[in-house]
Amino acid sequence: MTIGPPRIVFDKVSVRFDTPAGGRMHVVDDVSYQIHDREFVSVIGPSGCGKTTMMNIVAGFMQPTTGTVTLDGQPINSPGPDRGVIFQEYGVFPWLSVKENIAFGLNLRANRTSADEREAVCQRYMQLMGLSDFADAWPRMLSGGMRQRLALARAYAVKPQFLLMDEPFGALDAQTRTAMQDLLLGVLATEGKTVMLITHSVEEAVYLSNRIIVMTARPTRIREIIEVPFSYPRSEGLHESKEFGDLRAHVRGLVMQEYAQQAKQR
């Protein structure tokens, strides 16, 4: 993957929420960073620190209290099919079959295509995600990993330029998780997208990303931005290398410090 010009730009972003108790909670504090074209950026930090809040701003679900987030220089006002979002809880539509889930976006006015094209896209992603045998199955019959792949296929079908992923593999067992990471890298290698991944897993962040942004405990600031030097394509063996281990230890150290900090605040 080659890195292009900045596309998503956080400029002095702060977020404060009104709490139900009537107070103000400071969630994000003066955060600035850039995500470049075709870059894979992971955001890691203690739970509840405001990572998801930052993703929600990029997705278009909320606005920062102060500062700006721009996409190709334009402020973000609403969600759109240019930004595919993978939620922690998948959000696979239970009333649609696997194939209808994938076709959902293609049937919307925003990205309507011909029936032939739609069929081709469905077939392609069902095959890629190993769902071809389950085209007419209801989502409730699928395993967690398959639902996750379905959510990915549905997001990919409308050809987003960005993928915003919030703990996408958090609920999966270790083996499925590794398989899903490799599948993601494989798809990205052919389709080249810009990715923002929210994760708790240091291992996952180091394995997948070009850059890792380590956030502090709430109100969250940038603790450190780490360049990951390994070239793509990456494979399983990378986990065993010394460089990988060193980087993982470094990132884990930072994250653990922030967890300790958070525990002290409570």
Partner 1 sequence: MRRAALILAPWLALLAGWYGIHHSGFVNPALVPTPHEVAARFVELMGSRLPMDILMSTQRVFLGVLCGIALAVPVGFVLGWYKTIRTFIDPLINFFRALPPIALIPLVIVYFGVDELAKVVILFYASFFAGVIVMYEGISQISPIYVRVARTLGATDGEIFRKVIIPLAVPHMLTALRVALGVAWATLVASELIAAQQGLGALIQNAGSFFQLDIIYVGIICIGFIALLMDLGLRVLARRFVSWQERIA
Burial 37-61 (b: 16+ CB within 10 A, else e): bbbbbbbbbbeebbbbbbbbbbbbe
Q: 76 vs 212, which CB is nearer to partner 1?
A: 76
Q: Would you state the structure tokens that stand for residue 223, as one six-digit string?
A: 């603790």
Q: Given candidates 4, 48, 94, 233, which one binds partner 1 under the rule CB under 8 A? A: 94
**Residues 122/99, Cβ–Cβ less than 8 Å:** yes
61 lies in the site for partner 1, by CB under 8 A: yes
17 lies in the site for partner 1, by CB under 8 A: no
Rounded to whole angstroms, how far apart are CA atoms 182 and 194?
17
Q: Given candidates 116, 140, 190, 264, which one binds partner 1 under the rule CB under 8 A? A: 140
84 lies in the site for partner 1, by CB under 8 A: yes
Q: Considering the complex, what minimum distance in angstroms separates the CB of residue 187 from partner 1?
A: 18
Distances (CA, A) of 86 to 151, 188, 246: 7, 15, 30
155 lies in the site for partner 1, by CB under 8 A: yes
Rounded to whole angstroms, how far apart are CA atoms 15 and 262?
18
Number of residues located near partner 1, criterion CB under 8 A: 30
Give the binding site for partner 1 (CB under 8 A): 59-61, 78-81, 83-85, 87, 89, 91, 93-96, 104-105, 107-111, 138-140, 154-155, 158
